[in-house]
């Protein structure tokens, strides 16, 4: 009996020693993880890692491992830098840009607005918007009370950005941003900052960065926030201790916060349709960055609001080319606030018009 006990103890001790050696071996392996794979000779990647280790206290081996396992996202790259489209070899030398000649052809963008909104303002978008409103009415009301942003505009953003969470991106976020950050093109430095923000976000929120998916450009979650926007605008709106880009409640508060911090003015108008003489508008420059005095537009150019428009600040002129005519709109400060989410007049007008249609449908219920 004693011998059996001693033999059992011997085997138990032996197993403990073996397990300890395995753990030690693994620790040594982790401590010595070297940069390999596609980026192993990339000096900018090495510099990026060094900076994060020194200034952000990241683990070097963890970063080496991440970059070593990165899968080059060629499809994401050609979205951002189309000059790479025909380079199917090593993806390192961009195709030279060719000079483009522009000709002034009347009505060259005829019907562009209709094509843009065809799949963005639909009955399905309105229907799903109403369902979302009913499901999250308390959270939407809370966001409006705190930030002053009406529910229909938050719903409009969520509809267009991810169709209420059903399309948050199929690309591995780290791989896409690493590809875009360390391939030579004009926006590479921007994506280096976004990659750093992604890593910082994952560290602070205890997320496994390898498991995060995004758009091809690295936009995340229901609201498609870029990683750099996370720290600035994302809020823990349901107060569960986590700021979650994939949580609709947190995203309702975060989008409202985004608008508020970008100049949204509670209770003020967003945009109004304008009247002008003719079918095609060429009198003045248009776009969300334009600024005009309403009285001057009326007196000098015979451009007036089509409906009552109580607003005492300068407005922007927005042109929406339809097939037979140009729609002209006056955009207020709140319209400009929407363009901070996506720097496009078409985008902001789509959010506005979809929001108004959802609001009208809500009133009919």
pLDDT at 31: 59
Given the residues 161, 194, 205, 327, select the one marked as catalytic: 161
For residue 176, which phi and psi values (nearest 5 degrees)?
-65, -45
Dist. CA 199–CA 95, nearest whole Å: 31
pLDDT, one tens digit per residue, over 91-130 is 544 444 444 433 333 444 778 999 999 999 999 999 999 9
Helix, strand, coil proportions of the chain in percent (round to 5)?
55, 5, 40
More reliable by pLDDT, 330 or 3 = 330
Provide the pLDDT confidence category of residue 85 given band limits of 50, 70 and 90.
confident
pLDDT at 160: 97
Residue 315 has pLDDT above 90, yes or no: yes
Under 8 Å between Cβ of 236 and 182: no
pLDDT at 209: 97
pLDDT at 84: 84
pLDDT at 99: 43
Dist. CA 251–CA 222, nearest whole Å: 7
Q: Is the dihedral of CA 168, 174, 179, 181 positive or negative?
A: positive
Residue 1 has pLDDT above 60, yes or no: no
Under 8 Å between Cβ of 180 and 169: no
Crossing angle of the two packed helices 43-55 and 188-204, in degrees rounded to 10: 40
pLDDT, one tens digit per residue, over 208-242 is 999 999 999 999 999 999 999 999 999 999 999 99
Buried b (16+ CB within 10 A) or exposed e, 177-194: bbbbbbbeeeeeebbbeb
Dist. CA 66–CA 269, nearest whole Å: 47
pLDDT at 105: 35
Query: For this structure, is 161 an active site residue?
Result: yes
Residues in the chain: 365
pLDDT, one tens digit per residue, over 154-165 is 999 999 999 999
Under 8 Å between Cβ of 176 and 209: no
Provide the pLDDT confidence category of residue 29 given band limits of 50, 70 and 90.
very low
**46: which residues sit within 8 A by CB, 6+ positions away?**
35
For residue 331, which phi and psi values (nearest 5 degrees)?
-105, 130
Dist. CA 87–CA 35, nearest whole Å: 25
Dist. CA 250–CA 241, nearest whole Å: 11
pLDDT at 68: 96
pLDDT at 110: 77
The domains located in the chain, with CATH, are 45-96+169-219 (1.10.8.350)
pLDDT, one tens digit per residue, over 57-66 is 999 999 999 9
Residue 358 has pLDDT above 60, yes or no: yes
């Amino acid at each position: 009996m004693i011998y059996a006990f001693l033999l059992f103890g011997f085997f138990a001790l032996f197993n403990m020693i073996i397990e300890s050696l395995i753990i030690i071996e693994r620790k040594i392996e982790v401590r010595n993880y070297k940069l390999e794979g596609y980026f192993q000779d990339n000096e900018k990647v090495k510099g990026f890692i060094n900076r994060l280790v020194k200034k952000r206290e990241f683990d070097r081996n963890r970063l080496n491992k991440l970059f070593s396992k990165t899968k080059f996202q060629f499809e994401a790259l050609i979205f951002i830098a189309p000059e790479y489209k025909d380079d199917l070899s090593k993806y390192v030398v961009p195709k030279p840009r060719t000079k483009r000649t522009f000709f002034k052809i009347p009505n060259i963008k005829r019907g562009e607005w209709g094509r843009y909104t065809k799949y963005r303002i639909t009955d399905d978008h309105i229907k799903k918007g109403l369902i979302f409103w009913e499901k999250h009415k308390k959270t939407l009301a809370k966001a409006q009370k705190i930030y002053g942003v009406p529910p229909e505009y938050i719903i409009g953003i969520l509809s267009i950005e991810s169709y209420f969470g059903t399309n948050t991106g199929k690309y591995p976020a780290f791989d896409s941003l690493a590809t875009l950050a360390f391939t030579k093109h004009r926006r590479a430095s921007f994506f280096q900052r976004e990659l750093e923000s992604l890593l910082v976000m994952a560290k602070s929120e205890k997320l496994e960065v390898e498991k995060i998916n995004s758009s091809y450009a690295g936009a995340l979650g229901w609201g498609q926030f870029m990683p750099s926007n996370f720290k600035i605008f994302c809020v823990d709106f349901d107060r569960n201790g986590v700021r979650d880009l994939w949580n609709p409640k947190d995203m309702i508060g975060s989008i409202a916060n985004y608008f508020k911090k970008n100049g949204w003015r509670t209770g003020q108008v967003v945009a109004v349709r304008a009247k002008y003489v003719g079918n095609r508008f060429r009198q003045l420059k248009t776009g969300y960055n334009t600024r005009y005095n309403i009285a001057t537009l009326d007196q000098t150019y015979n451009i007036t609001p089509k409906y009552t428009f109580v607003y005492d600040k300068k407005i922007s002129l927005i042109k929406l080319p339809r097939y037979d005519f140009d729609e002209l709109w006056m955009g207020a400060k709140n319209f400009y606030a929407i363009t901070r989410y996506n720097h496009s007049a078409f985008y902001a007008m789509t959010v506005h018009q979809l929001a108004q249609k959802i609001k009208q449908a809500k009133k009919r219920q």
